[in-house]
Structure 1
Amino acid sequence: MLHSGILLTRVFTSRGQLPVENAAVSVVLHSDSDRHTLLNIQTSDRSGNTLPTTIETPGVQNSQFPGQEAPFTLCDIWVEHSGYQPLTIQNVQIFPGITSIQDLPLLPMTEAGEYSVEQVEITPQDL
């Protein structure tokens, strides 16, 4: 039987007060071969939310004993919208049977139009 978790994202600016509509949100899965697989690309709605993404995960039994395979699937989230700096969230952990909500705070571009990608790396849990 396959196991899965659900990922929800919320794109916003101004310390979470203003949702960002029409942001491109890409979910990319990690693989054992150091290659990444694009799972989906969605556009945020007027509330800054995307539709739920179901992601295959290892079984919950992997969390029962030490030394087992990690009980989660790792993915990265890339976010882009004109007028905002691109954002990458690395190593988002998706657990079986759990709905994970990832906030995606965008920063406005500088007036000079400088382009940089904000990267956030989530440290894996030591389970």
Structure 2
Amino acid sequence: MFKKNMAALMMIIFLLVSFSMAFASEGPDGNDRKGKYTYRKVYKACAQTGEVESATPTISPADKTMVQWQEIFENKNFDEFGCKDNWAGLPDKDVLDVYSYFYKHASDSPTPAKCK
């Protein structure tokens, strides 16, 4: 009886760990730290050309949910960021990094961005 209960408990623990690892690996696989840097660099360049008012980004990852950021980046709809030319000129790797930054720090993520 004890061995059956122990085996069932071990199976449940294994399944829980497997599912949590699967959910933790969802989302883009870019470098979110590089994405934060790239995002700020693009925004600063936009401010220098006068396309935005401030060099400090006004859009925070916590402004939207992970699903909303996923939709924006998968459709490449960067209208709300402004600076269409700057966004269009970014290499795919940099866009992936920025996407990772916004996705991993969205309002419903385990680690939402706390400040802008």
Say which structure, 1 or 2, has more relative contact order (CA 8 Å, 6+ apart).
2
Which structure: larger Rg?
2
Greater strand proportion:
1
More helix by share: 2
TM-score, reference length from structure 2:
0.25
> TM-score when scaled to structure 1?
0.23
